[in-house]
């Protein structure tokens, strides 16, 4: 690679090199009228309803992995954070921090992915920023996306809305993203199809909100870092109830289970990037399950447990053999075991 | 998942549990020697299903937990040296030395620390970083030692000179004898480690059964394996027998793995070794033989291990001996948590305190 096809400090200068990057790369792949105006901020039409606003930064090594890359994560992650409050995502911002020397071809692959992903999701990138930091001060590319969404009047989805008796649904297999990244980082090659589950959840959420009677969908959480275990702990704490889940009902791919066995990891703590936990009033649980299973991202949805009166903030797993154990939140990064 | 699912199946576990309930004639205490057993018992929720009167005590079989503070201090001293890269299994990353600092702290201060998944990966690191000396932290029992012996052989054969191993390897029967010599330790049987036994063979426990009149059963790590081993232990205890039985025949033979034993003997020799909580135990460790001294980090750096004090208030020593349960420690759950571990039993995912903290007592 020569210096002609990599990121230079000049690309973050705000001068001609920056302009070339914007017009030659960003506008080419992320084009829409609001962004193309290249104003200092995006001005959005007023929308009825309440505003949801979320931000997230993305640092991942490796930046490309089976099932996605840092760009797809940056789009899906913020869309999902908005959707978890019952919001319809309206638009995203995109801020890039690039390390001097980053291969331009790699950057283009990321930007193309961001363009495709945001178009498929119907959520445009309407404003952005780029900075370049000296080589060695970063790790290829860091991304921040912020997003604005609209919450329809009457919709109130939050952890504090979870109620005793609520049924807990998971929208598909757990751990796919976390184990894919960990095995790639470790250079462990396994047979099978380990791939990140990076996917947008806003359509699944809007299908649920449209079909279920108002007030029946109580809580949504996307179990990203910390996994299903940590999200359930947060819900149990916020609601002052005990979440009881059944090990046999939790969807998980065989490849993920096998990789977890090898590395001594518990899939309940692995990150997901295209899954959500939904807490639904018990009389509507079956209906919610069918709706989730009818979506492209929720085919493997399952009922995994219920919220019960008990020790406030506790999560209890009923194990395969009929025993039970407490599932605490994640402490520190999951580390592979010695043997 | 073949060889796993069938041993976690309730259809198999339920009749085994019934049989265990039938086999228990009196209350008894069994020490599960291996840290992986401790974890498996907690993870499967087995404790909540055991007959009343059957008490499982966690033994000294978590290799990270028994790594002494003075060894960790030695490791931290190496990590601070120029041009040294430390390669390790993940569990050791957060284990504190005598100062309370760990490799996680050293890493944050710029030390080169890599978590690897196989000792051979550390050899690859040495090849990729010829200007550095890559030190692999050899921690573990008989299960992990053969792989590390093979790595040292490979380093010698392929002339990877910038590679060394810091050996704190330990062997299993001696610490059990040291524990069993303690009259305060009242146990009726041993659930012997499955993976270690696949190397050393079930016969290794014969002297224990004879000398200490203990029921010894080698068990696998799935719930059905553990239940089967507990049934055999319960039957022996009911009949007042003290013999070695093997409930893990799909992995463990009477003689063990002769080839692995030979490889370990080629590279390592028995030495006295300090164990966290248990002190110095004769011939309980493995040092690299002089013929492979070039790959011995301790000799290469001339590291002098200083005696280090255990953290104040920490009860890991008593817990490792099976004399106390984690909640009896004044630090447990307050000053000592998996995020900020004080003692080694909290830091390793196989540690008794970590298991208690994560899964409840």
Q: Give the model confidence (pLDDT) of A210-245 as tens digits.
A: 999 999 999 999 999 999 999 999 999 999 999 999
CB B133 within 8 A of CB B161: no
Which tokens in the block code for residue B222?
């799935």
Question: For B283-309, what is each residue's pLDDT tens digit?
Answer: 999 999 999 999 999 999 888 888 877
A319/B44 touch (CB, cutoff 8 Å), yes or no: yes
Is residue A138 located within the same domain as residue A14?
yes
Least confident of A218-222, B60-64, B176-180, B213-217: B60-64
Of A213, A11, A223, the residue nearest A100 (C-alpha): A11
Taking an 8 Å cut-off on Cβ atoms, the answer to whether B10 and A332 are in contact is no
Instruction: Find where tokens 């796993």 sit.
Output: B4
Q: How far apart are CA B127 and CA B159, in angstroms?
A: 10
First-to-last CA distance in chain B?
Answer: 29
Q: Residue B326 and residue B361: Cα distance in Å, rounded?
A: 9
Q: How many other CB atoms sit within 10 Å of the CB of residue B109?
A: 9
Which of residues A151, A179, A201 is at a domain's end? A151
pLDDT band at B134 (very low <50, low <70, confident <90, very high): very high
Residue B349 falls within a domain, yes or no?
A: no
pLDDT band for position B355 (50/70/90)? confident
Distance CA A225, CA A73 (A): 13
B48: chain A residues, CB-CB within 8 Å:
323-325
A338 has a chain B CB within 8 A of its CB:
yes
**What is the domain-level CATH number for residue A275?**
3.90.650.10
Report the pLDDT value the prediction gives residue B3, as an integer from 0 to 100.
77
* Strand partners of residue A53: A148
In a domain, A192, yes or no: yes
The reply to whether A13 and A111 lie within a common domain is: yes
**Across B163-177, average pLDDT:** 94
Arithmetic mean of pLDDT over chain B = 91
Task: Identify the residue among B117, B228, B340 best suited for mutation to test binding to A, counting A beta carbons within 10 A and taking the highest.
Answer: B117
Which whole-number Å values give the CA distances from B3 to A47, A249, A258, B199, in the listed order?
57, 20, 11, 19
Confirm whether B262 is domain-assigned. yes
Q: How many contiguous H segments (helices) and E segments (strands) does chain A have?
A: 10, 13
Mean pLDDT over B95-112 rounds to 90
Q: Kindly state whether residue B272 falls inside one of the protein's structural domains.
A: yes
Cis peptide leading into A62, omega within 30 of 0? yes
Question: What is the C-alpha separation between B302 and B164, in angstroms, rounded?
Answer: 13
* Shared domain check, A72 and A179: no
Does any domain span residue B119?
yes
Asked if the Cβ–Cβ distance from A266 to B223 is below 8 Å, we say no
- The count of structural domains within chain A is 2
Residue count (chain A): 339
Please give the model's pTM, rounded to 2 decimal places. 0.88
Nearest to B284 by CA among B292, B275, B276: B275
pLDDT at B268 over 60: yes
Answer whether residue B347 shows pLDDT above 80: no
d(C-alpha A275, C-alpha A26), whole Å: 29
A90 plus A200 within the same structural domain: no
Whether residue A333 is contained in a domain is answered as no
Same domain, A191 and A137: no
Q: What is d(CA A214, CA A148) in angstroms, rounded to the nearest whole number?
A: 23
A172 and A77 both lie in a single domain: no
Per-run averaged pLDDT (10 residues), chain A, 339 residues: 78 89 93 90 91 96 95 98 98 97 96 97 96 94 98 95 97 97 78 90 98 97 96 97 97 93 89 98 98 98 98 95 90 66
Question: How many domains are contained in chain B?
Answer: 1
Question: In terms of residue numbers, what domain contains B91?
Answer: 69-171+256-300
- Location of structure tokens 């069994």: B30
Q: Give the pairing of strands A141-151 and A50-58.
A: antiparallel
Same domain (yes/no): A239, A295: yes
**Is there a single domain that holds both residue A103 and residue A199?**
no
Residue, of B91 and A104, whose pLDDT is higher:
A104
Q: Which domain holds residue A8?
A: 3-151
What's the Cα-to-Cα distance from B360 to each of A269, A277, A308, B18, B353, rounded to whole Å? 17, 24, 19, 24, 10
| pLDDT score at A336 | 66
- Residues of chain B with C-beta less than 8 angstroms from the C-beta of A339: 36, 63, 140, 143-144, 195
Residue A339, in any domain of the structure: no
Least confidently predicted of A218-222, B20-24, B39-43, B192-196: B39-43
* Token couple for B198: 């696949």
The answer to whether the CB atoms of A325 and B360 lie below 8 A apart is yes
For A2, residues 6+ apart whose C-beta sits below 8 A from its C-beta are none
Looking at the DSSP assignment, which residues form a beta bridge with residue B135? B86, B164
Domain boundary among the residues A151, A181, A216 is at: A151
CA B189 – CA B216 distance, rounded (Å): 6
Count CA atoms within 13 Å of residue A331 on its CB side: 19
| Residue A60 lies inside a defined structural domain of this protein | yes
Q: Confirm if A196 and A67 have CB atoms less than 8 A apart.
A: yes
Contact B76, B306 (CB under 8 A): no
Q: Are residues A287 and A217 in the same domain?
A: yes
User: Would residue B18 count as lying in a domain?
Assistant: no
∠ CA A240-A245-A246, nearest 5°, is 165
Preferred mutation among A323, A324, A328, A330 to probe B, highest tally of B CBs within 10 A: A323
CATH of the domain at B148: 3.40.50.11740
A171 with A260, same domain: the answer is yes
Using the beta-carbon criterion (under 8 Å), do A261 and B358 form an inter-chain contact?
no
pLDDT of residue B198: 96
What CATH number does the domain containing A142 carry? 3.30.1330.10
In this model, does residue B339 exceed pLDDT 90? Answer: no
Average the pLDDT over B241-252 and give the result: 97
pLDDT surpasses 90 at B264: yes
pLDDT at site B130: 97
Burial of B156 (0-12, 13-18, 19+ CB in 10 A): middle
pLDDT score recorded for residue A3: 59
A94 shares its domain with A225: no
Q: Please tell me the predicted confidence (pLDDT) of residue A338.
A: 56
Give the span between the Cα atoms of A148 and B247, in whole angstroms: 60
Cα distances from A234 to residues A249, A312, B144, B339, in angstroms, run 21, 11, 38, 18
Q: Residue B244 above 90 pLDDT?
A: yes
Residue that is last in its domain, among A123, A151, A179: A151
Is A325 an interface residue toward B (CB < 8 Å)?
yes
Task: Give how far B9 is from chain A: nearest CA, Å.
Answer: 6
Percent of chain B with pLDDT over 90: 65
Instruction: Report the C-alpha gap between A301 and A289 in whole angstroms.
Output: 7
- Residue A48, chain B, CB below 8 Å: the answer is no
Asked if A335 and B90 come within 8 Å (Cβ–Cβ), the reply is: yes
User: What's the Cα-to-Cα distance from B240 to each of A86, A250, B56, B210, B235, rounded to whole Å?
Assistant: 65, 44, 19, 13, 8
Backbone angles phi and psi of A178, in degrees to 5: -60, -45
Average pLDDT, integer, range B4-8: 83
Question: What residue ranges in chain A does DSSP mark as E strands?
Answer: 50-58, 64-65, 68-69, 88-99, 125-133, 141-151, 167-170, 217-221, 242-246, 277-280, 302-308, 315-318, 324-326
Q: Which positions in chain A touch B115 (Cβ < 8 Å)?
A: 335-336
Q: Are residues A98 and A177 in the same domain?
A: no
How many Å apart are CA B355 and CA B35, to the nearest integer?
A: 9
Chain-chain contact of A321 with B36 (C-beta, under 8 angstroms): no
Tell me the pLDDT band of B95, cut-offs 50, 70 and 90. confident
């Amino acid at each position: 690679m020569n210096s002609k096809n990599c990121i230079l400090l000049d690309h973050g200068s705000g001068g001609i090199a920056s302009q070339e990057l914007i017009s030659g790369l960003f506008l080419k792949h992320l084009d829409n009228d609001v962004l193309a105006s290249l104003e200092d901020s995006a001005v959005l039409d007023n929308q009825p309803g309440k505003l949801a606003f979320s931000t997230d930064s993305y640092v991942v090594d490796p930046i490309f992995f089976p099932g996605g890359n840092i760009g797809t994560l940056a789009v899906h992650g913020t869309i999902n954070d908005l959707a978890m409050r019952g919001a319809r995502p309206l638009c995203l911002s995109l801020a890039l921090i690039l390390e001097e020397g980053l291969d331009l071809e790699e950057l283009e692959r990321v930007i193309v992915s961001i363009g495709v992903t945001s178009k498929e999701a119907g959520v445009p990138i309407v404003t952005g920023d780029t900075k370049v930091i000296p080589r060695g001060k970063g790790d290829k590319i860091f991304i921040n996306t912020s997003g604005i969404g609209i919450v329809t009047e009457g919709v109130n989805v939050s952890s504090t809305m979870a109620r005793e008796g609520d049924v807990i649904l998971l929208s598909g297999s757990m751990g796919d993203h976390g184990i894919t990244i960990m095995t790639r980082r470790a250079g462990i090659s396994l047979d099978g199809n380990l791939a990140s589950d990076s996917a947008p959840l806003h359509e699944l959420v809007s299908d649920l909100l449209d079909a279920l009677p108002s007030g029946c969908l109580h809580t949504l959480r996307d179990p990203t870092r910390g996994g299903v275990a940590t999200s359930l702990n947060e819900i149990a704490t916020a609601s002052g109830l005990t979440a009881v889940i059944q090990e046999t009902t939790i969807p998980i791919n065989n490849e993920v289970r096998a990789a977890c066995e090898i590395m001594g990891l518990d899939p309940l703590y692995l990150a997901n990037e295209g899954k959500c936990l939904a807490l639904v009033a018990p009389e509507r649980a079956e209906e919610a399950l069918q709706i989730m299973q009818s979506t492209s991202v929720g085919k493997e949805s399952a009922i995994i447990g219920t919220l019960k009166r008990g020790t406030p903030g506790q999560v209890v797993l009923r194990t395969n053999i009929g025993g039970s154990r407490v599932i605490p939140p994640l402490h520190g990064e999951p580390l592979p075991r010695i043997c | 998942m073949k060889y796993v699912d069938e041993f976690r199946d309730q259809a198999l576990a339920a009749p085994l549990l019934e049989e265990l309930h039938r086999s228990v004639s009196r209350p008894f205490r069994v020490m599960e020697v291996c840290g992986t057993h401790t974890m498996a018992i907690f993870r499967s929720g087995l404790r909540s299903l055991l007959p009343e009167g059957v008490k499982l005590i966690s033994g000294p079989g978590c290799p990270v937990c028994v790594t002494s503070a003075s060894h960790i201090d030695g490791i931290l001293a190496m990590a601070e040296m120029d041009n040294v890269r430390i390669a390790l299994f993940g569990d050791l990353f957060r284990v504190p030395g005598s100062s309370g600092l760990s490799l996680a702290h050293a890493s944050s201060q710029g030390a080169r620390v890599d978590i690897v998944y196989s000792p051979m990966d550390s050899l690859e690191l040495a090849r990729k970083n010829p200007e550095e000396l890559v030190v692999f932290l050899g921690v573990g029992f008989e299960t992990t030692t053969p792989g590390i012996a093979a790595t040292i052989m490979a380093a010698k054969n392929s002339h990877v000179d910038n590679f060394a191993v810091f050996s704190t390897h330990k062997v299993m029967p001696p610490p059990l004898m040291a524990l069993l010599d303690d009259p305060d330790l009242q146990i009726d049987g041993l659930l012997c480690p499955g993976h270690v036994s696949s190397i050393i063979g079930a016969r290794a426990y014969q002297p224990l059964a004879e000398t200490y009149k203990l029921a010894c059963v080698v068990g696998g790590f799935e719930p059905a394996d553990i239940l089967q081993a507990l049934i055999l232990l319960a039957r022996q205890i009911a009949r007042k027998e003290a013999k070695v039985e093997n409930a893990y025949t799909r992995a463990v033979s009477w003689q063990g793995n002769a080839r692995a034993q030979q490889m370990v003997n080629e590279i390592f020799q028995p030495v006295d070794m300090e164990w966290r909580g248990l002190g110095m135990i004769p011939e309980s460790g493995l040092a690299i033989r002089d013929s492979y001294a070039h790959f011995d980090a301790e000799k290469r750096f001339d590291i002098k291990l200083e005696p280090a004090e255990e953290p104040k208030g920490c009860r890991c020593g008593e817990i490792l001996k099976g004399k106390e349960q984690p909640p009896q420690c004044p630090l447990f759950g307050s000053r000592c948590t998996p995020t900020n571990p004080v003692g080694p039993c909290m830091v390793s995912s196989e540690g008794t305190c970590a298991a208690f903290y994560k899964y409840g007592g």
